[in-house]
Amino acid sequence: MTDPMERFRQVFFDESAEALDTIEQHLLALHLPDVDDEVINDIFRSAHSLKGGSATFGMSALADFTHVMETLLDMVRAGTRSMDQAVVDCLFECLDCLRNLVNHYQFDEAVNAQQIEAVKAKLQFLIDDVASGDGQQSEQLAETGADQGKHWQIAFVPSPQLLLSGNEPLRYLDELSELGDLEVTCNTERVPELNDLSALDLHIEWQIDLSANDIISKEDLSEIFLWIEDDAELTFTCKDASSSSSNQQTDAPTPDVSKKASTAPSPSSEEATAAPSPSSATAPAQANKQRATQSIRVELKKIDGLINLLGELVITQSMLSTFKDLERFPQLQRLQEGLGQLERHTRDLQEGVMQIRMLPIDFCFSRFPRMVRDLCIQLGKEIDVEIIGETTEVDKTVIEELTDPLVHLVRNSIDHGIELPAKREENGKPRQGKLTLKAFHQVGNIIIEVGDDGQGLPVEKIRQKAIEKGVIKGSERLSEQAIKELIFAPGFSTAESVTDLSGRGVGMDVVRRNIQALGGQIEVRSEEGQGTTFSIRLPLTLAILDGQLISVAGETYVIPMLAIIESIQISSSAINRVGKQNVSFKWRDQFIPLLNLAETFGCHNSGEPLPDTLLVVVVESDKQQYGLIVDELSNHQQVVVKSLEANYIKVDELSGATILGDGSVALILDVGALTQRLKVH
Amino acid sequence: MAKILTVDDSASMRAMVTFTLSEQGHEVAEAENGQEGLNTARQQQFDLVISDVNMPVMNGIEFISTLRKDEGYRFTPILMLTTESGQDLKMQGKQAGATGWIVKPFDPQKLVAVVNKVLK
C-alpha cells in the first residue's frame, strides 16, 4: 500500500497555497493603524494551520518557521504587540519565505536559508521587543519528592462534575491497570441519600494501590490523569520510599462495589448515546445549505479528458444528423426527433463541462496588489489598485496564458503611465494614482481591461520614436489612434532608459502576439494627461468554436463566427482590379481589400475569370475589414478545435482543424494571420 | 465500532483523521467548522467528537461548550485537537466541556491510541 500520508501531503500543499493567499490578501487590505481583530485572527489561523499541518507531515523547517511567525501573531492577537508597519513588512517577508519553504517540500526547490534565517531573526526581534522578561510558563510546578518506584498509593477524588466533561473514571482505572496489579478501594461515603442524589453527579472516591511491573515515575502517573488534573484531587504516594503502608479506608473494601458504583452513571450515558438528539429535525435544511458551496479537487487531466470526449460526442452527433433523407426512409422521422433532443442535451452537457474548467479571474488578478505594492516602494509612487469583476469566470488555460501579458501591461502602467506623486499634484491630480483591473463578459467574449489614470500615451513622442526606429516613414500620415497603436509594432519601445521593470526588450508586440495566440485582440485607448486603458478581448473558451463552414474549390473550411461581419453577394463588376489582381471592392461606403481564397490556397491560377456573381464573407481583424471570396456558404455550427501543431505541424494562416459530421477534416482559418496577405498585395 | 465526528478547517487534517480512524473500523463524519459540526452532531448521535480549536465561523471552544449543553452530548467524549500546548487554551477547552486534548503534531498511531483509550 502506498503511504496514505503522501496523499494528505498533497491536500496540505493545496491548503497551504490557499492559506498563503489569505494572509497576503489580508496584509494588502490592511490600512494601518486600523486593524480589524477578525483580520488578525484570520491571519493567525492561516499561519496556525500551516504550522499544524507542516509539523504533522514532517516538514520541520516549515513548522519551525511558522512557529516563530505564530508566536508574533499570537502577541498581536492578544494585544501585547501592536500591528505596526514593522510587523506588516516583516509578515510580507515571511510570506516569501513560506512560499519558498512550501515549494521546497512540494517541488524540491532549493531553500533560501539565508533569507529565512534573516526573517526569522527579524521576527524574533519583534517578539523580544515586547516579551523581554515575562515568563508565564511557571504554572506547572510539580512537587518533587520520592518520584520513582514500583509501589504507589493513589488517592483519586474526582469532582462531582467530572462526568459532564465526557470523562469516565473507570477509563483511568483501566489505564492504570495496564501498568501493573491494582487493588482498588471505593469510598462511597460522600454519596448522598437517594432523594438528594443527582444522576449527573459523581460522589465516589477511589484509593488505589498499584504494584507496577516496572519502575514508574510520578510524571508517568500524572500523564495518565493529565486531562482531569483540574477536575480531581489526586495524590500520588510512592510506597517504595516509605515502605510502611498508610492507613487505608476500608468502608467498601471490595473492588466489586467500586465497579458497580462507578458504572451507575454509565447507563444514562449510554442512553444518551442511543437517543437521537431532539433538535435533529430542524438541522438538515441548514446543513444542506452549507453543503451547496462545497467543492472537490479534481485533477485537470481528468477534466480535459472529459472535454475531449465531449468533443468526440459533438462530432458523432453532427455525424448522425446527416441522416435525413426522409423521403427514402420515412422511419428516420423518429430518429430525427430523438436527435433533436440529443443535440439539446449535448449542448447543455457541453456548457456544463466547459464550466468546470472555468476559474474566476481572481486567480490571475490577485497577484497584482502585491506586485504593485512592491513596485511602488521601489519607484516611490503611490498607487491604489482597484479590481472589478474578479469573479468573472475564464477558461483555466486562458488564465494561465494571460498572466504574463497582464503582468507586462501592469508594469508598463506603473512604470510609464502613472506619474510620481509630486508631479501628479503639480498637474492637479490626486497624489495617489489609480490602477484598475477589470473583467467582464460581452457577447461570447470576455473583456479584460488594464487602466491607469496616468499621463497617457504621448502621441508626438511615439511618432518621433517610430520614425527613428524605422517603423514608419517620416512622410507617413497617420491618425492619432493609429499612432498610439504603433506601440504594438515589433521593435518599438519608448522607454528612455532600460529600467528594472519594463523596457527589457520584451515589448508590447509580444503582448499582442500572446493575446492573438489565444484568439483574442488587444486595443488601446488613451487620452494624454488622463490615462491609458488596454482592453483585451478573448473568446470564452479555446476548445470549442462557433464556426461558419465555407467551401473553396471543393474543400471545406471554417471561419470563426466572431470574425465575420456579414456574408454578401456582389457582382464581379463591382471589384476594382489592378492588372489581373482583384484588389478591393466598395462595402458600406468604403473600399476594403479582397482576398480570393482559392488563389490564396493555390487552387486557381490567378487571373482565371470569375463568375458574374461572387460570394464574399466580410471579416474583421484588428479593426481591419476585408472580404474573402468563397465558393459556397454551408452550415453554421460549433466545431471542436483540434490543434494542428500537436497533430501535424504549425501552419500559418490556419488556427487549427476540426472533424466534421461526415468524418472529414476541415481547416480553421486564422483571420488575423490572413491580413498579412493583404499587406503583401 | 464507534461513530466519530471530526471537526477541522484543514482538509488535510480531516482527511488524515478520517483515514486513520476508518482503517480502525470506525465510522467517521467530517465538518469544516464549529457551526457545521453542530449541525452534523445534531443530525445523528456520535460516540466521540474530535475538534480543532482555531476555526473560522465558529471556533472549537464555542463549538464544544455549545455541544456539551446538548442533551445527547452530556457524557460524550469530546477531544480538542490543538497545536498549542499552552495551558490557557486547555483550560478554556476544559471549561467549555472538553474531555481532553490531543496535541498536534501527532501521528496516526498516537491518534488511534487516544481514541481507543477514550472509547474503551
pLDDT in tens, A432-460: 899 999 998 876 678 899 999 988 888 88
Does B95 lie at the interface with A, CB-CB under 8 angstroms? no
Residue type, A502: S
B107: chain A residues, CB-CB within 8 Å: 56
The torsion angle over the Cα atoms of residues B98, B99, B105 and B109, rounded to 10 degrees, is -150
Beta strand A358-360 with A613-621 is: unpaired
Q: Grid coordinates standing for A339?
A: 436527435
Q: Which residues pair with A235 in a beta bridge?
A: A155
Q: For position A444, what pLDDT does the model report?
A: 64
Cell of A454: 496616468
Give the pLDDT score at A172: 83
Interface residue A49 vs chain B (CB under 8 A):
yes
Q: Residue A161: how many CB atoms within 10 A of its CB? A: 13
Using the structure block, give the residue that is written with the C-alpha cell 500551516: A50
| Tens-place pLDDT, residues B51-102 | 988 888 898 899 999 999 888 888 899 998 877 666 777 788 888 888 888 8
How far is A329 from A332, CA to CA, in rounded Å? Answer: 6
Listed residue (A648, A654, A657) closest to A669, CA to CA: A654
pLDDT at A23 over 70: yes
pLDDT-derived band of residue A281, with 50, 70 and 90 as boundaries?
very low
- Portion 68-87 of B in contact with A at CB < 8 A: 68, 70-78, 83, 87
Of B43, B71, B73, the CB nearest to A284: B43
pLDDT of residue A294: 62
Complex ipTM value: 0.76
Portion 13-42 of B in contact with A at CB < 8 A = 13, 15-16, 19, 35-36, 39-42
Could you identify the residue written with the cell 477531544? B79
pTM: 0.47
Instruction: Reply yes or no on whether the pLDDT at B6 is more than 90.
Output: yes
DSSP-assigned letter for residue A416: I
pLDDT of A501 reads: 43
Closest Cα partner for A382 from A408, A419, A427, A416? A419
Q: Is it the case that residue A224 has pLDDT exceeding 80?
A: yes
| A246-to-A205, A240, A249, A255 alpha-carbon distances in Å | 17, 12, 10, 19
CATH of domain B3-119: 3.40.50.2300
- Is residue B65 within 8 Å of residue B96, measured between CB atoms? yes
The C-alpha of A292 sits at a distance from chain B's nearest C-alpha, in angstroms, of 13
From chain A residues 63-92, the ones with a CB under 8 A of any chain B CB are 63
Could you read off the pLDDT of A84-139 as tens digits, one per residue? 888 888 898 899 899 999 988 888 888 888 888 888 888 888 888 765 544 333 33
CA of A217, closest CA in chain B: separation in Å?
21
Which cell numbers hold the place of A459? 502621441
The verdict on a CB contact (< 8 Å) between B56 and A42 is: yes
> B50, B58, B83, B118: which to substitute to probe chain A, counting the most A Cβ within 10 Å?
B83
Res A3: pLDDT = 64
A604 vs A241, residue with greater confidence: A604
Among partner residues A11, A48, A274, which is closest to B15 by beta-carbon distance?
A11
Report the candidate in A600, A594, A652 with the shortest Cα–Cα distance to residue A619.
A594
pLDDT, residue A89, reads: 86
- For chain A, the distance separating the N- and C-terminal CA atoms, rounded to the nearest angstrom, is 67
Tell the burial category of A366 from Cβ atoms under 10 Å away from its Cβ (0-12, 13-18, 19+): middle
**How are beta strands A205-217 and A180-187 bridged, if at all?**
antiparallel
A:145-204 residues touching chain B, CB 8 A cutoff: 163-168, 171, 174-175, 200
pLDDT tens readout for residues A252-263: 344 443 444 443
The three cell numbers of residue A60 are 520541520
Quote the pLDDT of residue A608. Answer: 63
Chain B interface includes A384 (CB < 8 A): no
pLDDT of residue A556 exceeding 70: yes
Asked if the Cβ–Cβ distance from A45 to B9 is below 8 Å, we say yes
Residue A44's closest CA among A86, A77, A20?
A: A77
- By the CB < 8 Å criterion, does B91 face chain A? yes
pLDDT at B31: 92
A416 has pLDDT over 70:
yes
A-chain residues near B71 (CB < 8 A): 272, 275, 277-278
Q: What is the DSSP letter of A610?
A: P
C-alpha–C-alpha distance, residues A299 and A10, integer Å: 12
The full DSSP string for A118-141 is HHHHHHHHHHHHHHTT---GGG--
- Residue A128 φ then ψ, to 5°: -65, -30
Tell me which chain B residues have a C-beta less than 8 angstroms from the C-beta of A228. Answer: 100
pLDDT of residue A528: 84
Q: Which of A45, A53, A164 has its CB closest to that of B97?
A: A164
Name the DSSP class of B37.
H
pLDDT mean across residues, chain A: 78
Assess whether pLDDT exceeds 80 at residue A234. Answer: yes
The continuous run of DSSP H or E covering B47 comes out as: none
Domain ranges of chain B: 3-119
